[in-house]
Homo-oligomer: A and B are copies of this chain.
């Protein structure tokens, strides 16, 4: 590296270097898996020297905790933003939730792989477990409340919490499929599966061909 770029690199603020290392961590998790990810891999991936991670993150454990926190923050911020930007009708809200989960920004092979690599270890790591639980709870309760509204609007018989659980579980299952069989199972495939099942579960909210319908409430009250 030339001295000019070396100087420029050195001037980067701390937060940027941390993010750079977190990204190298995600890369390594996706490429090599949890067990085979070493600090040397991460440092090499970031183009930096061996001791650098312990300087910025104190320990490998902490680096991984910060990585899962990064992924979880990005995930939650993304669906919450998409939800608030969506139209207020039930179908739009529902679609916002499920397309956020499969959003191009979130749902990349490397991020999915890294997420599962960390999540699987969450069982034995309290700090990961806590983060997984938070992600879960927020999304799940929001989805359940949308299902409750939809039930009133469509006069459905299902139990809203149970249906929300089923939809959420299905999405996590599709993530798993994408992680394992990403070559044949992509975002677009998963999205069409989700849309199909939604139009089956909420038939009054979708046309026969699956087109979303906005339901107007003459005799229903919202939220």
Contact = CB atoms under 8 A, between A and B. Distances in A.
A52 B163 CA distance: 49
Contacts of A33: 120-121, 123-125
B119 A180 contact: yes
Contact of A166 (B36, B116, B136, B196): B196
A171 B169 CA distance: 7
A200 B163 contact: yes
Contact of A163 (B173, B180, B196): B196
A201 interface: yes
A177 B166 contact: no
Say what secondary structure dominates the interface of chain A: helix
B196 A124 contact: no
B124 A116 contact: no
Contacts of A35: 34-35, 121
Interface in A76-123: 113, 116-117, 119-123
Contacts of A158: 196-197, 199-200
Contacts of A36: 124
B173 A177 contact: no
A206 to B, nearest CB: 10
A194 to B, nearest CB: 7
B193 A129 contact: no
A202 to B, nearest CB: 9
Interface of A: 30-36, 113, 116-117, 119-125, 129, 132-133, 136, 156-159, 162-163, 165-174, 176-177, 179-181, 192-194, 196-197, 199-201, 208
26 contacts: A30-B123, A33-B124, A34-B34, A35-B35, A35-B121, A116-B120, A117-B120, A123-B179, A123-B180, A132-B180, A158-B197, A158-B199, A159-B196, A162-B192, A165-B174, A165-B193, A166-B197, A169-B169, A169-B177, A171-B173, A172-B177, A173-B174, A173-B176, A176-B176, A200-B201, A201-B201
* Complex A-B, nearest 10 residue pairs according to Cβ-Cβ distance, in ascending order: A169-B173, A173-B173, A172-B173, A170-B170, A166-B197, A162-B196, A120-B120, A33-B124, A35-B35, A169-B174
